Amino acid sequence: MEKIQRFINVLFLTCVLMPVTLFIFPSALAIADGAKGASYLYEFGGPTHWLTVSSDVGNKSGFIEATFKGNTGITIHWLSMLYSFFMILVAVYLVIFIIKRVRLDRTRKQHR
């Protein structure tokens, strides 16, 4: 039962960290030539850039500004999002495993 609860906690933390990566990781900028003029593409979302926001205006500084001020479209790359989710899940699980291992080692040293 403890392992199931730990997995649910890791899964919850991963679900919370997925949208946070939109704000933490810097965006990648690309310029696409369209029929009506240049379109600026901003890619957000962690190490795999799973969210693309297109805009007619350049020099957007962050996710909120690019998304809510004059965007012309948003694209979600589902496979990249899934890959990013699993990368974060593994990273969180490893961090929790290391923390648990360090605590276990400390308690063993204290009892000696």
The interaxial angle of helices 78-111 and 2-24, nearest 10 deg, is 120
The domain tally of the chain equals: 1
Which long-range contacts link 14-17 to residues 24+ away (Cβ below 8 Å)? 14/85, 14/88, 14/89, 14/92, 17/88, 17/92
- Supply the range of the domain harboring residue 11: 2-111
Q: What are 15-65's pLDDT values in tens digits?
A: 999 999 888 888 887 767 666 666 788 889 888 889 988 887 777 778 888
Each residue's pLDDT tens digit, 83-105? 999 999 999 999 999 998 998 88
Query: Which amino acid is present at 40?
Result: Y
What gap in Å lies between CA 21 and CA 15, rounded to an integer? 11
Span 2-18, average pLDDT: 91
pTM across the whole model:
0.80
Dihedral angle computed from the Cα positions of residues 39, 55, 63 and 96, in that order, rounded to the nearest 10 degrees: -50
